[in-house]
Structure formats: structure tokens, C-alpha cells
Structure 1
């Protein structure tokens, strides 16, 4: 049997669960200590199994070995002390020595004096008498005395505390009594002062009453005299003001007449040029002073041939949700995956007419969204690359060249002209890499024009240029008629080949300094082209929406608050992150081979934002966030974003059911599109109006509030594509790694 098996055998034979025994300590053989009279904790005397086989029949000799004197605590070094101790199997050498394979020895570290024995476990001698050792009694008495001393000490402490409390109460009682006596003295003094003041008041009242009648009479007389004087002065002043007003009205009437006359002249210049060109269209065309393209610009309803392939597509029937699903499936069949939520939000933003800024890493599908949406809806996308050297509005809109008397157009302005000639389709003009140049340098003036949401327009050049062109054109045509040229049949080639006619024209037109008729013809043609194709005042077509795509890296610029205040920022992730979601949304539905035509008239016209509605639930929530979190962060929420929020919420109604879910979705998207892009501050700075609390703490409280407020929010397929609380949490983590500096764009 191994050691563990022998120990189990001992426990089974003795009927105990562990090897914990009691007995008397005795000192033998100089400083060696033994445990004799070994019993179980219940008092049963323990004998070795099969004891008759060994030379030593019981534990009386040699007993249980404990160790030398250093192993026994000083308070136990008295022979006969009754203790309890844990035992284990003795070493092999000792078992062989005593010829007992079950020999045990004590663990000196576990020795404890035995001070208490349960009644059913009282140790009895062989004759039945109770055996209570002196050490056991003494230990029990010591334990009871120690307990009594502890109780006496605690009682003493309680008495001392009660005495101190009594002393404190007595002190407080005396202090309160002194305060009451002082208050009574102060009350008596105040009563005396009140009595003195009342007596003084009565005396003053009597004095005032005595002199009041005379004073009132004098004041009334003075008032009547002053009223008469003021009345005379007022009448004179009124007559003077009326004279000045009449003079101003006469000047204003004259100015209005002059302005109306000038406006009529300015308007008539462009109209007169167009009318003259229309009346002379055949000879101008034969003389190649006007081309077919210019004719289309003059009469935009002619020559527009829509894409016949798209014309065969089904037209939008007003079911916006189904239309977005169709677009998603159509694009997915062509290898383009955008989640339904993203397409729906982009559609709603187009309906607002606001500037949309698409933000994300290069290659995340920003400009592709513009192209894909336009292609899938039968509309047009125009991508205008922004150059790093753009510094003014002329880089975007072009400019009038005074030397050539013509307008230098840009792809951006040409896209607007094209849209004006094609009002049935929506034109999405996208400024690609919008922030390669500083947006406020070249685009803010144009963006300000868009604030006139009813009829925005752009002045391109002075309107009187049309008058100059008309004058030169009339001179040229009159000169051609004056030399006998048949304008009904003459063409440019025959005219240039007639030397005699060329000589007459040079004399009549006063050509000099080496200028030929061909050069004059080219100059007039260029001037006429500019005047006809580029109007002085361009009305921004209602069927145009503006989008900007931005990347944020070392080569680009941040967007100013003025731009962000007028735009919605739509953040993009990698298309690979969308693919599985799109695949799950579409499932086994068919992939149509055609899109769905959504004509420009299906998009709400740009108009004034809805009026501010103080009780609107969305406005109340945004205002609450502005007060509790945004203002302490240094971000002001003005009237424009709140009216934009109401307008955006109205556009979502065609895509989602109305109710709390729609309100939460609009709130979630507006936080991501309008509020978070303005997060740019040092989190270590003190928050406004929050004492010592810093802005980082406010941002974290804002995140916790959003987690709670947006918890019920989900999309139609069960999970939300983007959650504002997650975006803010990610921004907080980025700030933590960036010395607590918050920046949405990093």
C-alpha cells in the first residue's frame, strides 16, 4: 500500500474523516516531546489496527512523536498540557524502527491548546468518571476571562463615548441658550429702532403733506407751460420732417424711375441681341457667324434627344422604398454593392437640395455612388475635378475675357448650361477631391448664392456686353447690305473669294493696323458665341444637385464651419464592408437588367426651409443636446441647422413609417451628418459653464446619453448600418490616442 492508501485505511478503521487527534504533551529523552493518551476529537481512544501483530500493542509507548522543544510553543511547554494536533504517516525509517507500517507522527505547526469540549465529547476515564485536565480548565477560564475583558473594554469605550456626547450636548445647549439671549436682545433693539423710525416717518409725512399742496400747484403750472411749448415745437418739427420726407420721396421716385429705366435697358440689351439674331438667323448661319450649337443655346427646347435606352425603363411611380430596392438590386447585378440604408439616405439628401459632402478613404466608392445612382435612375452625373491651385470663384465658374470679348467657360458652368437645356433629368454635379484647394476660396460665394433657395442665380459678367455685341453685329450686317451684298443667298466662302467686296468692306468698316475681314469675322463670331451661350446672369437650374467628395490626408484642407453649416457630411466605409450586408438584404431576389427612371420633377423643388417649430420633437432633442453637451464643447447650434433638420425629417417620410422610429433615425443621421463633423477641440480644455469639468468628460457623458437615447433604433432589416453613439465612442478612442485632441476628420 502507498502512503495515501495507508492513511485512508487508518481513517476508515478509526472512524474519523481527518487525522486530527488530541492528547497530552509529555517531555521525554531530554528535549523531545511526545503526545500520549491519543484520542479522536470525539474522545475515542485510538489504537492501531492489527496492533497484536506488532511488538508495541498501543500508542502508550512510544506514543506520537512531536519534535524537539523548539517545535513546541512556549505557552505549551508544560508536561501534561492537553492539546489538539494534526498527524500524518511517520517517515519510513521510523515505521521500520517500531515495526509498525501505520505509525503516525504529529505536525508541530498545528498544535493548539484544547480549551473547549462539547458535552457529548467529554473525556471519561475507564471507570466512567469525567476527566478534566487542569490545562483544559485553565484554558477555558483564560478564554472566558479574555472575553470578559474585551466586553469590559468595549463597555468602557461606550461609557466614555456617551460621556463625550453628553458633554457635547451640554456645550451645544449652553451655546444655543446664549444665542437665544442674544437674539432676544437684538429683537428688543430692533423694536426700539422700528418705533423710532415710525415716529420719524410720521414727522416727515406731516412735513411733506404741509408743503405738498403748494408744490403740486407749482408743478402743475410748470407742466402746463412746458406742454404748450412742446406742442408748438412738435408742430414745427412735424412740418420740417414732412418737408424732408417729401423731398426724400421725390428723390426715391426719381431713383426708382432711373433704376427701372436702366434695368429695362440692361434687360433689353440681351433680349434685343437674341431678337436680332433670330430675325437674321439664315444669313448669320450662311455667313458662319452662328453655329448649330449656338442655335441650341439660343433656343434650348430644340435638339435635345434623350437616351432612348433609358426612355424604355419604367418610370418612378411614387413608391420610394420600392424604387430604392430596385436600384440596389440593379446595381448589385452589375457588381456594385451599396446598403439600402445608404442609398435611401443619399436619395433623401438629394431631395433636400442641400450640399452633400461624401467623406471617406480614397477608393471607398464616393464618386462611384454619384455615377451609379445617376445611371440607375436615368439621370446625369457630372464629375468636376478640383485642382490644388484653385484660389477664386473664377476657377470654378470661369470668367469674362475683356480682350477677346468672350466668356471662358469651365466644366462646372458647362454642366449647369447642359442641365438648363435638359430640364427633365436631374443633374448631380460632383466636385471631386473638393478639398485639394481651400473650399472657402473658390466655392463659398457660390454656396452663399444657393441660400436663395427659391431662385438662386450667379452674375457672370456685366450685362451691357450684349449691347456692345449687338452694335458690332448690326454694323457688320448693315455694311454687308450697304455694299450691295445679297444677304438672302450670300455665304462666307463666296464672300471671302470676292476681292472687290473685301476691299469695299475694308474701306467701309475702317479696318486697319493689319486687321483683315477674316479676323473681324472671327472676333464678332467669338463675341456672339459668348453672348448667346453664356448669359450675364445664370439662373441655377432647379434640376441640379451639388455634391462634394473629400479625402483627408496631408495634401488636403479641412472644411470651414461656414461650409459645414450649409452641408450634410455622409461618411463612407470600404465597399468590402458593405458587400455581405447587401448580399443578405437582396437574398435570392432577381437582378433587374434595367434601372428605374426618376425624373427631375419627382425631386422636390428647392424652396425655403420649413419655419422653426419650437415644439417639434426632433428640434427639442437637438436643442437639449445643444444646451447640455454641444455648447460646453464650444459648438453652437444655430437656427439654420434646426430648420435643415425639420426639412431632412420631412424627406425621410417617403422612406420610413412615421413615428418615434423615424424621429430617432433622423436624429441619429443628423448627429452624424451635421453635428459630429464640427468636432474639433482639445479635450483637456475646460468645458464652457461646467466649472472644472473638461471637454473630454462632456464628450463621454454625451456618448452615454446617446447610447441610452438611441438604444431602440434599428433599420428595416433589423440592424442599423451606422449608429451615432458608436461614431462618438470611436472618436473618443481616437482622441485618447491623440493626447485627448478631438478631430472628426482624422
Structure 2
């Protein structure tokens, strides 16, 4: 049987109400009971685990149906079904025959597909078939494989073969059981006796082993307590020495109260976790649950983000790579940094970038040889603060990062971030400078110490009073080559300032493990584009205006979560937010590696888009982390293409590349390839879909004389 030949013009039906559209479907498909009841085969896409309904026929009459309008994607290309339901129906099988009811897809989907009749499986209507609903007229005697469609024929043959095999196996198993039953009964008692004897022997051995281990543990405990006592005595001796020197420096005003306290008192800086929800304890270390909790927590703070944004951002945070948030002003870039930091009990530092930044000194500061002091920047101060609070996650955001050329002021620091084998260290100034200051201070202290023993009253003498002594004054000038015109009081101030500089800013600093670097950029005529070097090492996460967000969808997402209270932030250890480990190795037989080697050969290289081994290894790292939050392999690949591929699309589309110009290569070859690769792209928000992103690039290029520019 075949479907009716009724075909409507798109212009005739595009604005019809749903009731009229249903009626025309009923007329076209011979439906008289007001329900589109069909049966068909659920199949997985060979490139991913996306499931759709194929080979669809009506239950009443077994009619093969198709859309009564010319559509880009016909019903033979598969009908959408809720993926959770589809996978439950499939179980461990790759295919399954089901019966269900169809309904018109949501208006947005019909508009997107340019098909007013587009249908999908009605939720709750699908059930797996035990047998196919064929009537007697559909079955012809004789060689049925010539008359019944191949898939149906194979279905019955498969079921019959399975039944025969199962019956044969059951009979053979029963015979074998009867044959060995007698032997099993006779040997059972003997085996039981042997087992009992073996268990008794092992129990005796275990008892002896426990006794031995307890004695070893007792000896180790005593040794540990002895070492602890010895270490405590050494620490106390060291503290006493430091305290004595610190009191001396403070007495003569070489250090202030804050520096003195850092010497004398052991400052314990830890996170206050009492009013936080434990990720490992309450959520069992489940990153999917963490995303749900963070989204719900932010909603309580009147901050709304779709789930996929939090999934993506948390994955990027855990990757320890540079993250660049791109979007219009007011699209929520810095808000995401600040609100996420608050949600996980961390701290955010927003560092504005100035247009006149031209070198790493603008980012990290510089050593002033005249003042013998390092002049730190807010960015460096944030790194030092993070180093002093190693248990607190720090999210440092370079706001409006591209007001200046990023490769000028950030390239050196970015090269440090690339070090995945150890803890990157930044040399701020020469160790010789600090050694010189300390040497000079040591000489001053030596002279003052000698004078103090002679002139001290009640154990205290201040610097000014000592300098009023002619003998001490003369000795200081002789030791340091001062003339009568030089001021020792001014020299004292210089020493104090230099010492404070060394204490506050060390000559080198390691990038703390609790720091994540994020950039926020706007793209307009006042800013600079990101260079290929930056794009190759960073992940670009693009934003749209929050006014375009579907807030109802966010509320619906959060309503499905089962949390009694989301008023407290989530406590995540620094390690739970990602370690700086080497990227996974490239493996030629890995599916992801094979895919992007192929894409690079067929598309990226002909388009002159740089795509190297580092990028693929970054992708492997991202993929492994993302699967802990979302099981969709396609979503991970989609995100990776958005982050690492599309931002590099800036070239003249009119130039020839093989048989196509570059713009045609995008539209006629790469776009269909991505549509085939990301089969679920229609269910992904347009601004986070690589397919929709590429379409937008193509349309913009067509209206801009063929110039391809992702950032336009």
C-alpha cells in the first residue's frame, strides 16, 4: 500500500491553524478516528546514540505515509521521539518495533524545518511490539521474502531463530544437568569437608597475621609519636628564633605591625564550610547533581542560567585551560564568573584591562631599581592572595580582555599556563635584588645590635635615639660610605620600604593550583580580534543577551530537581574543580581523534584554519570531563567545535579551495557534514549549536561580499 498523492503548496498551508493541519493529515493518510496511530522501527544513528522512528506505517491499514508537502527533511528521515523514552524502549538492542501516536511538533520546530506538517512521537504513547501488526492480506504464501519488506522479514526470522536457539539451549542444559546431578551430589559432601578444612587453616593464619600487624602498628605509632615530639621541639626553637628577630626588627621600626604578626603568629586561613553543602558528602561527588544544585542555588539568588551553560562552564573550569567568555556588553559574562564563584564558596577577582597595556609588566608589575621595590598590579595581588589561601578557589577574570592586544601583554603568562607537567612559576624580579636588600639589612642590624647592648635601657632602644649617638652615627656613615649631608633617617625609611617590598612580593611566585584564569571580551569596533596563538590555547564560550533566554524553560528544568534547600553554596575542594594534569595522549584508533583528523584533512586545512595536535588533545581532555556531567557524546563534540573551531573562521570566502570557493565549501560540504554528525542539533539552543553557528557565519558572509568572520 502507498500513501495518497495529495501534495499541498507550502504557501497554502504555512499559516493554517493546528486543527486544519490535523484534518489535512487525516485526509492524506486515510485516518478516520482522529488519532495518528502508527507503528515503525526505532533505530540508533550509526554516528551517535541519537534514536529516531523510521519505516512508519499506519496501524489501521498499514499505509506507508509521507508529508503532504514538499519538505527538506521528509518523514523517511526519521521522526523525533523523547530520547529517554526511546532508550528505555530499546534496552540493550540497537533496534525495536514500536506502536505509538504522532502529533504535530512544537511550532518552533515546524518553523525551523519549514514544514507545517512536521510530527513527533506523542509523549507517553510509545510501546514496544511483541509482534508486527500485519493483517492476513499482507502475508502471502510461498516465498514471503519476495513480498514482505526485508526489515519485517528479518524481524520474524530473527525472533524465530532466537526462540529455536533458546529452546535448544534449554534442552541441552537440562540433559547435562541430569547427567551430572548424581556426580555432583556424591562429591558435594567431600567438597564441603575440604572447604571447611581450608577455611579453618586460613582462619588460623589470618589470626596470626592480625596479631603480627597489630604489634607492627603499635611500634610504628610509638615511632611516629617520638618523631612528632622531636619535630615539635624543632618548630618551637625555630619560632623562638624568628620571634626574636621579628621583635628586634619591629623595635627599630624596620617592619610594621602586619608584617610582625605574620612572623610571630601562625595564621590559619581556611574555608568556612559550616554553612555550605558538601559536594563529596551530600552529593556523593556526582557532577551531574552539582550542576543541578548550582543552577537551583543561582535561581534562589535571582540569577538564571540554562543548565547547558553551567555544564559547559564547570567542565572548562575543571580543564584548567584559559576560558574566554565572548558576547555583547551586559550579556552576563562577568556575572557568570562572580555568581559561579559564590555558588562554590570561592572568590572572584575582576581585573579591568586598560587599552594602553603593551607588555607583561602591565599585567604583573615590575621591579623599580631606584626604590628597590616591586610595584605589583591588582592581577599579581590576586595571585598572591590566592597563594595565601590555598583551600579557597579563586576565579580571576580579565575584564574586557581585548581592549589591548592580548598577545602583547598576556602571551608570556599564557605560555606558563601551558605547562601541564608541574606547577608553573613566574620570575618577577632577580633573586639578587632581594639578596642585596637582605645583605644590606644584615649589616645595619649588626651595627645596631652592638650599639643596643651599650645604650639599651629596659631592653628597648629605638632607631632615632641610637642615631643621636655620635659614635653610632659615625660608624653607620663609615660602614655605608655616607657623608655628613646624607640622612640616616631617610636611609632607615629606604631600608624599611625595601624590606616591606620583599615580604609582600617574593622574587618568584608559582601559579597556585586554586586559581582559574578567565577572560571576558566584547567584540566591536573599539576592540582587537584574538590572534591565532590565543585561540589555539583558549576555549571560547559565546553569550547572548539574557533578555533572549527562555526563562520558563529554566524554571521547568529546576522544578525537576529534588532538593529541599538550596540556600547554601556548594563546598567543592580545589581538587574537585580540576587538576593541572597533562592532556590525554593522541591515539590513532580513538574515535574522537579519527573524527577530527578527518575534519582537518577535508575542511580545516583547505580553509587555511590552523588545527593541530594540541587542540585534539585539549578536546580529549574536555570530552572526558564533560561526560561526567552529561552523557551526550554529540553535545560534547558540538561544544568543542563551538569553542575551538568556529572562532578561527576568519578568511576571504571568495578564494578557491579545490573544486569550491571557501564559502561554498562551508555551505555545501561542511554544513551538511555537521548536520549529519550532530543529529540532535535541532534540540540544542541556536546560540550554542555549531550547526546554527556555521549557518549564521555563512549568511553573514553572503551579505558581506563573501568575507567569512565568526566575530562579525
Normalised by the length of structure 1, the TM-score is 0.59
> 2:582 — aligned with what?
608
Q: Could you tell me whether the CA contact under 8 Å between 2:270 and 2:391 is conserved in 1? A: no
The 2-side partners of 1:744 and 1:302 are apart by: 53
> 1:316 — aligned with what?
279
Deviation string for 1:418-475 (max 9, x for gaps)? 1111111111111001000110110001101112122211111111112211211111
CA offset at residue 595 of structure 1? 1.3
> 2:464 — aligned with what?
496
- Whether 1:743 and 2:712 are equivalent positions in the alignment is no
Q: Could you tell me whether the CA contact under 8 Å between 1:304 and 1:421 is conserved in 2? A: no
> 1:400 — aligned with what?
367
> 1:582 — aligned with what?
554
Evaluate the alpha carbon distance shift between residue 282 and residue 298 of structure 1 in structure 2; reply closer, same or farther with a 3 A threshold.
closer
- Where 1:387 maps in the other structure, the secondary structure is coil
- Whether 1:330 and 2:330 are equivalent positions in the alignment is no
Q: Could you tell me whether the CA contact under 8 Å between 1:496 and 1:502 is conserved in 2? A: no
Q: Could you tell me whether the CA contact under 8 Å between 1:356 and 1:548 is conserved in 2? A: yes
Q: Could you tell me whether the CA contact under 8 Å between 1:506 and 1:516 is conserved in 2? A: no
2:252 to 271, 274, 287: 287
CA offset at residue 583 of structure 1? 1.9
- How many residues of Structure 1 are paired with residues of Structure 2 in the alignment? 462
Q: Could you tell me whether the CA contact under 8 Å between 1:495 and 1:502 is conserved in 2? A: no
> 1:679 — aligned with what?
649
CA offset at residue 653 of structure 1? 2.4
Unaligned runs of 5+ residues in structure 1 are: 1-273
Evaluate the alpha carbon distance shift between residue 506 and residue 725 of structure 1 in structure 2; reply closer, same or farther with a 3 A threshold.
farther
> 1:419 — aligned with what?
386
- Where 2:288 maps in the other structure, the secondary structure is helix
Note the 1:176-195 alignment, pairs <5 A: none
- Where 2:452 maps in the other structure, the secondary structure is coil
Evaluate the alpha carbon distance shift between residue 276 and residue 674 of structure 1 in structure 2; reply closer, same or farther with a 3 A threshold.
farther
> 2:418 — aligned with what?
451
> 2:75 — aligned with what?
none
Q: Could you tell me whether the CA contact under 8 Å between 2:242 and 2:263 is conserved in 1? A: no
The 1-side partners of 2:522 and 2:368 are apart by: 34
The 2-side partners of 1:596 and 1:462 are apart by: 41
2:604 to 630, 634, 638: 630
Deviation string for 1:365-389 (max 9, x for gaps)? 0011000000011011111110011
Q: Could you tell me whether the CA contact under 8 Å between 1:304 and 1:422 is conserved in 2? A: no
- Whether 1:433 and 2:393 are equivalent positions in the alignment is no
The 1-side partners of 2:702 and 2:456 are apart by: 80
The 2-side partners of 1:275 and 1:515 are apart by: 36
The 1-side partners of 2:518 and 2:547 are apart by: 23
The 2-side partners of 1:629 and 1:298 are apart by: 61
The 1-side partners of 2:267 and 2:685 are apart by: 49
> 1:341 — aligned with what?
308
The 1-side partners of 2:470 and 2:505 are apart by: 31
Evaluate the alpha carbon distance shift between residue 742 and residue 472 of structure 1 in structure 2; reply closer, same or farther with a 3 A threshold.
same
- Whether 1:729 and 2:684 are equivalent positions in the alignment is no
Q: Could you tell me whether the CA contact under 8 Å between 1:358 and 1:366 is conserved in 2? A: yes
> 1:114 — aligned with what?
none
2:675 to 707, 715, 724: 707
> 1:203 — aligned with what?
none
Evaluate the alpha carbon distance shift between residue 466 and residue 481 of structure 1 in structure 2; reply closer, same or farther with a 3 A threshold.
same
2:528 to 535, 539, 557: 557
- Whether 1:303 and 2:303 are equivalent positions in the alignment is no
Normalised by the length of structure 2, the TM-score is 0.61
Evaluate the alpha carbon distance shift between residue 521 and residue 374 of structure 1 in structure 2; reply closer, same or farther with a 3 A threshold.
same
Q: Could you tell me whether the CA contact under 8 Å between 2:358 and 2:408 is conserved in 1? A: yes
Q: Could you tell me whether the CA contact under 8 Å between 2:404 and 2:528 is conserved in 1? A: yes
The 1-side partners of 2:297 and 2:352 are apart by: 27
The 2-side partners of 1:340 and 1:553 are apart by: 28
> 2:449 — aligned with what?
481
Q: Could you tell me whether the CA contact under 8 Å between 2:543 and 2:687 is conserved in 1? A: no
Deviation string for 1:130-152 (max 9, x for gaps)? xxxxxxxxxxxxxxxxxxxxxxx
- Whether 1:665 and 2:635 are equivalent positions in the alignment is yes
The 2-side partners of 1:330 and 1:509 are apart by: 65
CA offset at residue 594 of structure 1? 1.3
Evaluate the alpha carbon distance shift between residue 282 and residue 363 of structure 1 in structure 2; reply closer, same or farther with a 3 A threshold.
same
1:569 to 531, 540, 545: 540
Evaluate the alpha carbon distance shift between residue 447 and residue 587 of structure 1 in structure 2; reply closer, same or farther with a 3 A threshold.
same
Evaluate the alpha carbon distance shift between residue 448 and residue 362 of structure 1 in structure 2; reply closer, same or farther with a 3 A threshold.
same
The 1-side partners of 2:262 and 2:408 are apart by: 30
> 2:348 — aligned with what?
381
The 1-side partners of 2:433 and 2:260 are apart by: 19
Q: Could you tell me whether the CA contact under 8 Å between 1:283 and 1:490 is conserved in 2? A: no
Q: Could you tell me whether the CA contact under 8 Å between 2:686 and 2:693 is conserved in 1? A: no
Evaluate the alpha carbon distance shift between residue 513 and residue 410 of structure 1 in structure 2; reply closer, same or farther with a 3 A threshold.
farther
Evaluate the alpha carbon distance shift between residue 278 and residue 410 of structure 1 in structure 2; reply closer, same or farther with a 3 A threshold.
farther
CA offset at residue 545 of structure 1? 0.8
CA offset at residue 490 of structure 1? 5.6
The 1-side partners of 2:332 and 2:262 are apart by: 35
> 2:570 — aligned with what?
596
> 2:327 — aligned with what?
360
The farther-off stretch of 360-369 and 664-673 is 664-673
The 2-side partners of 1:381 and 1:302 are apart by: 26
- Where 2:567 maps in the other structure, the secondary structure is coil
Evaluate the alpha carbon distance shift between residue 316 and residue 497 of structure 1 in structure 2; reply closer, same or farther with a 3 A threshold.
same
Q: Could you tell me whether the CA contact under 8 Å between 1:352 and 1:647 is conserved in 2? A: yes
The 1-side partners of 2:711 and 2:648 are apart by: 9
Q: Could you tell me whether the CA contact under 8 Å between 2:396 and 2:518 is conserved in 1? A: yes
> 1:516 — aligned with what?
487
- Where 1:581 maps in the other structure, the secondary structure is helix
Larger Rg belongs to: 1
